[in-house]
Amino acid sequence: MTPIDMLIVAAGAAFAGMIGWVGWVGSRMRWTAPPLPWSQAAEACDLIPLSRTTWVGGSNGPDRDLRVRFESWDEGEERKRRTRIAVDALERGIVTLSLARETHATERAKQRGAREIETGDDGFDDEFYVTGPSTAVRAILTRETRALLRSLLVEVDLEVVAGQLRGLIREEIDPRERYELLLSRTLPLLLDAARRLRWPADTATQLAHNATTDREPAVRRENLLALVREYPDAPVTRETMRTACDDPSDDVRIRAAIARGDEGRPTLLEVARREDADDVAAGRAIAALGHHLTTDEAKQILRRALRARRAETAHECLASLGRRAEPAVIPVISKVLAIEKSELAVSAARALAETGLAAAEAPLLAALARDPPALRVAAAEALGRVGSAAGVLPLKEIEARDPDDATRRAARQAVAAIQARLPGASPGQLSLAASEAGGLSLAEDQTGRLSLDGKTKP
């Protein structure tokens, strides 16, 4: 054998030995696919893989009824990585609400009449567009849940669709370790959010909790109203209403007091009488009290409200006085009508009409010559309810010369209403006085000409 032959044999033997060694090592190693970017995050949350993309919670963990699906792809010319994480609750499903980031599209939907659920938390409501079963939605959107969803929105595009919570990671993360870090930070928050968004085990109890503990007064109010509306006879509702009557917010206190009926009247009276009470809440209390607020109290509260320019309180005081057919209220309301030029004057005109008293006519006739047009319209409409034959000519003059269309229309309708009330009146006839002997009447014949004695004058 030549030296070259010996060299070839030796090389072959060495190659065969190397192949054998590789086979031996390979036989003792289990082949595994490259780990997926979410594997580490899922394992850290004690999720169990059903497949490369679907994981479920462990049988003994808090997420045991959650199923998580991962989907990853590259997008655009720069091949930016995108990962969608979708979470379902298998036992007690996620509430079938629709929740998404506020966009121009959601704004247009609201302009078209879409009914959004406003939680009462301005920060949350500005960031999220929410629809769905309002009672359940209010129950699950606790202060902690709203804060969690807002923090998630910083890093992912978040939405809830058809009972599924979805988070889409859009950021370009490089290198891979940073991308996996974001997944590890986001996944546990999504799982926590999914647990919180499940249908409540006891909706009434959760609403009661929110109504008495949430930091935002408007959230407490909305949960209280939902509780009273949906569970009026539940023991937890009665207890919550009693507690809410001591709420720091006058608005919440008034809502609870109204719901309690006679038992809530002391709270209504306290808010109505208190000079530093919330203006809107005080007005609502006055409206709810009705005749349980005395005439003298209504007058006193009105005077204080006018001095402090508490418009809602003053509006409701005027309305309250107007509902009392008492001659003593006419001077009070008339003074407001004569002095005010804003909506308060309009409210005063309407209150005078509400009294139904003849003494209301004179101040209303005086208001026909005043600005703004809205006041003249209100005065004319009020005269249509309480005016007599004496108001016909002033109203006819307004109809003939006023530049405002609404005012002229109101005057014309007022004349018709007065005419319909007068004894013996018929369509087309305007009487200034009864047509008895010695009386003066003004009649309009079918041609539109006027007669003082029933005889047509050319």
pLDDT per position as a tens digit, 125-158: 999 999 999 999 999 999 999 999 999 998 889 9
The pairing of strands 98-101 and 443-444 is: unpaired
CATH match for 356-432+440-458 among 1.25.10.10, 3.30.499.10, 3.40.50.620, 3.55.50.30: 1.25.10.10
Pick the closest to residue 94 from 170, 162, 26 (CA basis): 162
Query: What confidence score (pLDDT) does residue 60 get?
Result: 77
Strand partners, 450: 444
Compute the distance between CA of residue 443 and CA of residue 455 in angstroms, rounded to an integer: 9
155-169, 176-190, 311-325: which has the minimum mean pLDDT? Answer: 176-190
- Comparing 63 with 285, the larger pLDDT belongs to 285
Please answer whether residues 435 and 441 qualify as being in contact, where contact means their C-beta atoms are separated by less than 8 angstroms. Answer: yes
- Within 90-163, strands assigned E span 98-101, 128-131, 157-161
Which amino acid type is present at position 330?
Answer: I
pLDDT at 184 over 60: yes
For 402, the 3-state DSSP assignment is: coil
Average pLDDT, the chain: 85
The pairing of strands 164-169 and 98-101 is: unpaired
Report pLDDT digits (tens) over 341-355. 889 999 999 999 999
Token duo for residue 449: 């000409």
Q: Which helix (H) or strand (E) holds 57?
A: strand 54-57
Pick the closest to residue 394 from 371, 410, 405, 406 (CA basis): 410
**pLDDT range class, residue 447, cuts 50, 70, 90:** very low
62-78 average pLDDT score: 82
- Comparing 324 with 441, the larger pLDDT belongs to 324
405-426 average pLDDT score: 86
3-state helix, strand, coil in the chain (%, to 5): 55, 10, 30
Pick the closest to residue 218 from 314, 143, 274 (CA basis): 143
The pairing of strands 443-444 and 450-451 is: antiparallel
Token duo for residue 85: 């994480």
440-444 average pLDDT score: 45
**Ranges of each domain in the chain:** 40-196, 356-432+440-458
Q: Which helix (H) or strand (E) holds 209?
A: helix 203-213
The answer to whether the pTM exceeds 0.85 is: no
